[in-house]
Chains A and B, each alone.
Chain A
Amino acid sequence: MSHRMKYWMLCALSFGVAALAGVVIGLIVPAARASDNPVWVFPLLVGVCGLVMAAGWLWWRKTDDLQQQGQLISWYWGGNFGALVMLVYLAVFFGRHSDISLGAIYLFFAEFAGFFVVWLVWRLRGRGQTE
């Protein structure tokens, strides 16, 4: 099988697992109230998210320098700017303390926390001998 074929198959697998995870989350989590047993539902769904990331990792390993750079630049600059615009929109149209604005702010904090952890690991792994 050619590299290109493997790449697109893993890309499709990645999207497929993400879509499947969305269905699983939709089936398990009620639409308008908290889960009945959040203590086990939350770790279970974090595990599902882990599977999504694992499938993405399989695809990521098949990407080359240029493709990775494209993803990283687009997610950092495009993703962050898009999220900021949405955050401002929600605050302006629904109020700073509305449920939807607070939800978006939590998401932003989670993104920052995830960024910080990965950045820290990246920084520590990149260390060398200081002379």
Chain B
Amino acid sequence: MKNCLRDLRKGRGLNQADLADRLEISRQTIIAIEADKYDPSLPMAYRMAAFFDVPVEALFFNPWKG
């Protein structure tokens, strides 16, 4: 799923390892999501959105919505 995780992360001045640690997930997961290789579960997507203080759809773009 297309997303802007990399942009939001860089906007906060965090590297992938820092963000992973803040969210208590693996760096591999951050890398996979940023590369659009893995779609996170809904709880994880909400946790990420809450961390950046944005709605989930501002972080993960809904491909079924025009």
Is A129 an interface residue when CB atoms closer than 8 A count as contact? no
Given contacts A65-B41, A65-B44, A66-B32, contact A2 B21 (CB under 8 A): yes
How far is B17's CA from A59's CA once the two chains are assembled, in angstroms? 19
B40 A3 Cβ-Cβ under 8 A: no
How extensive is the interface on chain B, given as a class?
10 to 19
Q: Which residue in chain A gives the minimum CB-CB distance to B43?
A: A65
* Interchain nearest-CB distance for B47 vs A (Å): 10
Given contacts A64-B26, A66-B28, A66-B32, contact A4 B44 (CB under 8 A): no
* Interchain nearest-CB distance for A62 vs B (Å): 8
Is A7 an interface residue when CB atoms closer than 8 A count as contact? yes
A64 B25 Cβ-Cβ under 8 A: yes
Chain B residues with CB under 8 A of A66:
25-26, 28-29, 32, 38, 40
Given contacts A3-B24, A7-B26, contact A65 B17 (CB under 8 A): no
Is A67 an interface residue when CB atoms closer than 8 A count as contact? yes
B21 A3 Cβ-Cβ under 8 A: yes
Which of A2, A3, A7, A65 is most buried by chain B, counting CB atoms within 10 A of its CB? A65
Chain B residues with CB under 8 A of A62:
24
13 contacts between A and B (CB under 8 A): A3-B21, A3-B25, A4-B20, A4-B21, A4-B27, A63-B26, A64-B24, A64-B25, A64-B26, A65-B44, A66-B28, A66-B32, A66-B40
Query: Which 8 pairs show the lowest CB-CB distances between chains A and B?
Result: A64-B25, A66-B29, A3-B24, A65-B41, A3-B21, A2-B21, A64-B29, A66-B38
B interface residues with partner A (beta carbon < 8 Å): 17, 20-21, 24-29, 32, 38, 40-41, 44
